[in-house]
Chain A
């Protein structure tokens, strides 16, 4: 299962950065919710512990084994997604939660990790220079079903995160001009169709306010505007921990979840934000470096997809807080309050550590 050489290859720097980011998260979840009756920060700490345990448990299982069986887990999760679509309980209008005795888990978050495994399986023996139509459609189909089921919940934000994972696998497999044009047409077609059929009015509003945020400062532009005011009024050094007026006066929406970076921006200023950005940069840099340490193609695909997924979540969230991306409900990975997202990201990092640990083949 696991031997001394492998434990010697555990990437402690990556784990250290992971815990550092989580700890910053706890500090700012506390700052933005301490005056509420619910102990969000305690819950988050509990989730971090649970996720760390899950991370360690999955290190014991060789990633080849996980990749091998990913198709079954994938099918199982599709069935679960279908079930909650019909019988799930409602949270803020979205049918996306399964309740366990202590925790609520969103299966649509966890399926991200499974998609990574399954795509890695498909491309594990792929040696052509560019992607073929057949492989392209197959990988597209794998991502399509979870996207559809999650978008119907309706949780468009989470569904959105599956796309960068697919793109990552296609980029590695090789995109030539023909595929690129094909993809472009496809994306335009899908977005056109979904604008007319899938998107709700409030989601359309979010997109239009992206272009004209001042148009409706009290409507859907409100959140973006308040977030920008929070960040901007923080200035160079910030208003001080727990002293942000935008956050403490509750002008900011979703302070401890999607807009937690705005709280950091307001309370710690440009310096604080830059430090957080640098920590994330080091974390993502470490992930990209890890790709080079992989022993086989499967490993490369896994780490690359994880790195792209985390980067995409990070960029979407950060761009959202400064009004350069529509509000889509994607949290800041590893830092925002939210157990399911935290758990799935920890599991993804567990896969990276897994690949790195087993970089020397045993014969």
Chain B
């Protein structure tokens, strides 16, 4: 194949290329010799320099954003605090160091050791926080003996402080040290070990905004650890302030009214979904455990039988009781099963599917129409309506009204509750659906479970005559006050397709319930058109209750949910008091107080 015509004479350029290669060989030899000089000949000198390299990277924590309520009152801020950390790399013998510093920090050596071991998989030059919230005495002792402990560093850090203590603690949440699992998550890419991050509430939900971004600086120290200067400073970017929709005085009043009880209150603006108050009681003082270390206070809270850490407003699951009659009424009107002229006879008890069912009013309401049935919360009326509807239809409407799913509030951990239907019972309990259960569900008893927030959102939907809002805590975009505010955007009203005239009918019943001597009469305020509905849910079944002795009277959960004024509603209030007795007794008067305060403040 080889022949001159195809293969031209390339000898000249080939020769030139190989000459260049000779140069390359020469450079390679020079390189090896240079490395020999640096790494072998001058080794001692460079080794000394690398040992003397006491420059270290110091993380500069950003200032966490403030949390403010709607009028600018500060709910969470930062105060100065000191912490002491240890750099493992600078320790010769960790056991010895633990022994030596234990009396200074007033901590057991084994505690210190355990703490240091927790971070054994991280690079040894990263500081491990040994103790935070140092007292001035501790700081001064440590500072004065700094030369003895080159492995310790004392740093100032901004510490979270909640000036109103337990006020709205469930909304705000609290901070704790980032766990090793959390540290490995992608969203925590910017974090470093020892950082305190939001574990619940707004602190968790808006963690990224509030946190900001770490800065760093290379600090130059001499061999004794004395500060000699710094370089490459990159300042931290402080977190953004967060404005909440909460109204300080309403929230305060709501918490006061719940004091000594267990329960929750949700107050929101039905036009926008802005939450003016979200109270859960008992609450807790987050200031007491913002530390990297779990202590007694924390263990007490976690193990308490009253579950003070639980946000009952979004995570408490309760039967809706008679509040659910509003759902049945709307559903039956929309399905065409009843009109406002449909009447049923209430004789105090009735037999359905062979079982006796009774009204709470033993004497019976007589022949009763929709308005009166809502006003007096007649059970028999709604047993009949529920029976006509059937469980499938009831659960379909309940879901349409937002039950059985989260409302989408900007708080972590919201529960979705339960809307039962035959399929659920088959799958979860492996039992068929009994027709009698439909009758219980018709008055909001049985397996159905809702959160106070869901009830408030549903009440807002009624007040809006069929427009659904997303309850939220972040103040919407307009009007922003300064550049550093973070504002959310939740201003969406989604219509559900049910005629507004049906809502008007139910609202009329709710108005009567408060203003015409109905079950919610305790919420009545003269000259203010409040519409509402009470609910009292049996905590244990009636059979068991009968077995109880007289002095241990059975108590029910007490509900009230309502709005005002009747036309163009501006406020929705939902109150739940655990073991509060009848809705009209406990929850309705609390709501009245709050309606009055709102009217005073805003009207």
Contact = CB atoms under 8 A, between A and B. Distances in A.
A324 interface: yes
B32 A277 contact: yes
B277 to A, nearest CB: 39
Contacts of A318: 31
Interface stretch (B42-50, B107-115, B328-336, B562-570): B42-50
A270 B35 contact: yes
B39 A235 contact: yes
B10 A231 contact: no
B43 A236 contact: yes
Grouping DSSP codes into helix (H, G, I), strand (E, B) and loop, the A interface class, with mixed when no group exceeds half, is helix
Given A222-B231, A248-B125, A233 B34 contact: no
A322 interface: yes
Interface in A255-277: 265, 269-270, 273-274, 277
Interface string B465-492: 0000000000000000000000000000
Interface string A316-355: 0011001010000000000000000000000000000000
Interface residues on B, range: 35 or more
A30 to B, nearest CB: 14
A297 interface: yes
Interface string A28-42: 000000010110000
A273 B35 contact: yes
B31 A277 contact: yes
Contact of A235 (B10, B40, B51): B40
B53 A245 contact: yes
A274 B31 CA distance: 9
B39 A251 contact: no
Grouping DSSP codes into helix (H, G, I), strand (E, B) and loop, the B interface class, with mixed when no group exceeds half, is helix
A243 to B, nearest CB: 10
A289 to B, nearest CB: 9
B20 A308 contact: yes
B56 interface: yes
B35 to A, nearest CB: 5
Interface residues on A, range: 35 or more
Contacts of A162: none
Given A288-B18, A297-B8, A281 B28 contact: yes
B13 interface: yes
A236 B43 CA distance: 8
B49 A294 contact: no
Contacts, number: 131
Given A248-B123, A281-B28, A294-B10, A171 B39 contact: no
A76 interface: no
Contact of A229 (B18, B32, B53): B53
A295 interface: yes
A344 to B, nearest CB: 21
Contacts of B13: 172-173, 297, 300-301, 304
B47 A235 contact: yes
A363 B6 contact: yes
Given A222-B231, A235-B43, A228 B50 contact: no
Contacts of B138: none
A270 B40 contact: yes
B53 to A, nearest CB: 6
B17 A270 contact: no
A304 B17 contact: yes
A352 to B, nearest CB: 13
B602 interface: no
Interface string A214-225: 000010001000
Contact of A233 (B12, B50, B123): B50
A277 B123 CA distance: 30
A218 B231 contact: yes
A363 B1 CA distance: 9
Contact of B10 (A300, A315, A361): A300
A265 B49 CA distance: 15
A145 interface: no
A324 B34 contact: yes
B225 to A, nearest CB: 15
B43 A231 contact: no
B123 A230 contact: no
Contacts of A265: 35, 39
A222 B186 CA distance: 32
Nearest to B184: A37
A20 to B, nearest CB: 18
A309 to B, nearest CB: 12
B572 to A, nearest CB: 44
B36 interface: yes
Interface string B1-43: 1000011101011101110110011011001101110111011
Interface in A27-82: 35, 37-38
28 contacts: A37-B189, A172-B13, A218-B220, A226-B53, A230-B50, A231-B39, A233-B46, A233-B47, A235-B39, A236-B43, A249-B89, A277-B32, A281-B25, A285-B21, A288-B17, A288-B21, A292-B14, A294-B10, A295-B6, A296-B8, A297-B10, A300-B14, A304-B13, A315-B31, A322-B34, A322-B35, A324-B34, A361-B7
